A = this chain, B = another copy of it.
Amino acid sequence: MSSITYTAAPNPAATIAHERAQTTFDTDAMNLFLEGGDPQHVALIKETLLQLERDPVFRTGPQYYDLTTPEHREETAKKIARFAQYLEVDARNNNSAATKVRLDFLSVLDPQMLSRTQIFLVLFLNCIKGNGSPEQYRFWCEQLKANQMRNMYGCFAMTELAHGSNVAGLETTATLDLDTDEFVLTTPHIGATKWWIGMAAHTATHAVVYARLVVKKDTVNDYGVKAFVVPLRDANHDLLPGVSVGDIGAKMGRHGIDNGWIQFNCVRVPRGYMLLKFAQVDREGNVKDSPLNQLAYAPLINGRVQMVADSFRFGARFTTIALRYAVARKQFGKASDGEEKQLLDYPLHQTRLLPSLAATYVMAAASHKLRAYQDHVLEQLGLVRETDKSGLNDAISAMKHLFVVSASLKATFTWLTALLIDECRQACGGHGYSAYTGFSKGYEDWVVQCTWEGDNNVLSMSAAKSIVQALKKGKDLHSDLAFLASKSLSGKLPILSSFASGVASADHLKVILKAFHGLIIRAGENCIVVLKENGNDWDELGQLQVGITRVFAHSYALGVFLETIPAGLQPQLRAIAELHALSVITSHAALFMEYNVISSENYPSVARRIAELNRFLRPQVIGLTDSFKMPDFLINSPLGKYNGDIYNAYFDTLKQQNDVSITKAPYSHVVEGMLNRSDLSVRERNERTEQVMRILSK
């Protein structure tokens, strides 16, 4: 019948194939750049992905989006057990690089599995390594085989119901009992209940517990928060006496993690269970305190560095989905060939998505650099002996700088990625709201990254404080902060006053970077003035501190990115760098104009230049997303399919997950009962009919 052939079906796959063919650069070379430039590492990634893709336990697919919480919990546990087997093999092969790559990609494949593993392998083990003596590490981690994920599963019990960011205010106590030479761990009241502790509910056998060290001799002495190893469950996986544990229950996302609360009811552990690298208590209750209490929180830094890497990978995943969709989907306005226009040909759509793509590229470079720096600092800290005063001081100041950089990047990029996922979802219209397209679980799992292991606002305030203090000091600056000494950038003259057009140039990018630096200096100088006036009340500067930290994080990332651009890919990568930088300026326009880093007369040029860069990058979008080399099984979204056959893939997914032969819901009787009910008057036994009313009111 002709009505069936009246219009032709859309052919998105052809559109994608057509654009892919237009790519003007080498996507392998681009991928090498994105992965940090080492071909061996890229080869390792390929191997790892192959193993993940074909491992039945790690299979992905739309069923993932239909799992209930109990199912997520069980699947996650199975994935962890499977991962533990890879871990053993990697360890035997002395291939810790492989383990890292595995974890990086598992973080995309299933972030809830990653954090359940990471809290143990990174927070718990690093805490023992960093805060314990070599003997403590050797016993728990090597002898008991925690590092093989055998016998022990450690959780990280820092946060309490009433205290999160303010770690120094935690209220769980570890009181030394001088008679028995034990610590007595106690939760004094509801507010001190350990809260949110990942894997406490059903998995962990041990916890690193952050508690106040209390020694009672003549008076009660509170030595502040220290870390203790506390067993929670025995080898039969039964809760030990005195330990109360419960499930935190329903969350926004990460349903696969069994977060729990813990109360300690006079739980006794031997004195040797306090981690004693930096602080020690002897048999008589004499305390030798830590040179820097914050060292106890160092394990959190690894988590933050991982989140920067995650920002890159999640950015890659979601921009790939939204951009492939934006190329494949057509809506409105006939283009020249009589077809509707592709979404990505609307300038508004370009402005919504291309800056996210650019940000993802820039985050990649920053993440590699940050990780390398972290490895270096932690190695330094690990090698230093407690007796080596000057070595310890160097290590501590490196740690402090690592804190500033990792805190800034963690806060800035996890926020950016949250917005990125949401914008990508909205850019897919209604289909972005389908759980099968990946956005909803992606977003719900993601956003906790803005809160945990350091709330983003709190981290940003604290990082900016260090930056402003460095500016004030003005000397002995870490090379990342050397720009703070550039007196020429302070003052009131515009720094970014001309705008490039055409091909993005290295020189112009340097000026933009200077503008970022200038902004930090000027805003920092303003902080110093305000602090002088307000009696050093940093709290009043909160909002400005957040701004400074963000611009710093972007300037750091941009600097790294510009340094690593390889020769063959300059046109694309410089355009990407400039697009990202100008987008950052746009989102902080008020700051840039307020400090006249860019004048308000010049400001309209930013939008014009962004539009120009968008047009330049537009035809390369498929190539630029292909360069992430994110395979379909990791993308796990019909809208992001490599072959572009989005509508068939999406419809098939729906039919696979929802049996079409079932046309009535299990609760159909409720609906049918409502529709088929009799008239109100009948159901009221006619008690209100006029006739009856006459009888009743007689």
Q: A153-B671, A672-B237 are in contact. Are A246 and B73 (CB under 8 A)?
A: no
Residue from the set A88, A457, A671 with the largest chain B CB neighbour count within 10 Å: A671
**Closest-CB distance, A219 to chain B (whole angstroms):** 12
Q: Considering the chains assembled together, what is the distance between the CA atoms of A4 and B188 in angstroms?
A: 4
Please, could you name 25 A-B residue pairs with CB atoms under 8 Å apart, sorted by A?
A: A1-B184, A2-B220, A3-B173, A7-B171, A8-B189, A9-B188, A68-B68, A92-B680, A150-B679, A161-B647, A165-B331, A169-B331, A190-B651, A191-B647, A201-B665, A202-B664, A235-B676, A237-B671, A246-B658, A253-B433, A347-B539, A348-B543, A433-B448, A589-B590, A593-B600
What is the chain B residue whose CB lies nearest that of A63?
A: B250
**Closest-CB distance, A493 to chain B (whole angstroms):** 14
Q: A542-B347, A593-B600 are in contact. Are A665 and B249 (CB under 8 A)?
A: no
Q: Which residues of B contact A332 (CB under 8 A)?
A: 165-166, 169
**Closest-CB distance, A529 to chain B (whole angstroms):** 12
What is the chain B residue whose CB lies nearest that of A171?
A: B7
**Closest-CB distance, A8 to chain B (whole angstroms):** 7
Contact B670 A81 (CB under 8 A): yes
Q: A73-B667, A426-B451, A594-B603 given. 15 additional CB < 8 A pairs?
A: A4-B188, A7-B171, A10-B189, A70-B666, A74-B667, A77-B665, A77-B671, A149-B675, A162-B330, A165-B332, A169-B332, A246-B660, A348-B542, A589-B590, A600-B600
Contact B195 A239 (CB under 8 A): no
Q: Considering the chains assembled together, what is the distance between the CA atoms of A646 and B203 in angstroms?
A: 28
What is the chain B residue whose CB lies nearest that of A10?
A: B191
Contact B246 A647 (CB under 8 A): no
Q: Does A528 contact B (CB under 8 A)?
A: no
**Closest-CB distance, A562 to chain B (whole angstroms):** 25
Q: Considering the chains assembled together, what is the distance between the CA atoms of A266 and B188 in angstroms?
A: 72
Q: Which residues of B contact A237 (CB under 8 A)?
A: 664, 668, 671-672, 675
What is the chain B residue whose CB lies nearest that of A602?
A: B594
Contact B249 A348 (CB under 8 A): no
Q: Considering the chains assembled together, what is the distance between the CA atoms of A192 and B604 in angstroms?
A: 42
Q: For chain A residues 637-681, which have a beta carbon within 8 Å of chain B?
A: 647-648, 650-651, 654-655, 657-658, 660, 663-668, 670-677, 679-680
Contact of A239 among B66, B346, B663, B676 (CB under 8 A): B663
Q: Which residues of B contact A195 (CB under 8 A)?
A: 430
Q: Which residues of B contact A52 (CB under 8 A)?
A: none
Contact A163 B331 (CB under 8 A): yes
Contact A546 B348 (CB under 8 A): yes
Q: Does A39 contact B (CB under 8 A)?
A: no
Contact B84 A674 (CB under 8 A): yes
Q: Does A535 contact B (CB under 8 A)?
A: no
- Among A223-231, A293-301, A435-443, A553-561, the stretch in contact with B: A435-443
What is the chain B residue whose CB lies nearest that of A189?
A: B9
What is the chain B residue whose CB lies nearest that of A546?
A: B348
Contact of A250 among B352, B436, B444, B594 (CB under 8 A): B436
Contact of A593 among B171, B603, B664 (CB under 8 A): B603
**Closest-CB distance, A72 to chain B (whole angstroms):** 11
Q: A7-B189, A542-B347 are in contact. Are A604 and B594 (CB under 8 A)?
A: yes
Q: Does A693 contact B (CB under 8 A)?
A: no
Q: Which residues of B contact A88 (CB under 8 A)?
A: 680
Contact A596 B607 (CB under 8 A): no
What is the chain B residue whose CB lies nearest that of A341?
A: B539
Q: Which residues of B contact A671 (CB under 8 A)?
A: 77, 81, 153, 202-203, 237
Contact of A674 among B149, B193, B665 (CB under 8 A): B149
Q: Which residues of B contact A668 (CB under 8 A)?
A: 202, 237
Q: Does A340 contact B (CB under 8 A)?
A: yes
Contact B80 A674 (CB under 8 A): yes
Q: Considering the chains assembled together, what is the distance between the CA atoms of A290 and B92 in angstroms?
A: 77
Q: Considering the chains assembled together, what is the distance between the CA atoms of A74 and B673 in angstroms?
A: 13
**Closest-CB distance, A246 to chain B (whole angstroms):** 5
Q: Does A181 contact B (CB under 8 A)?
A: no
Q: Does A205 contact B (CB under 8 A)?
A: yes
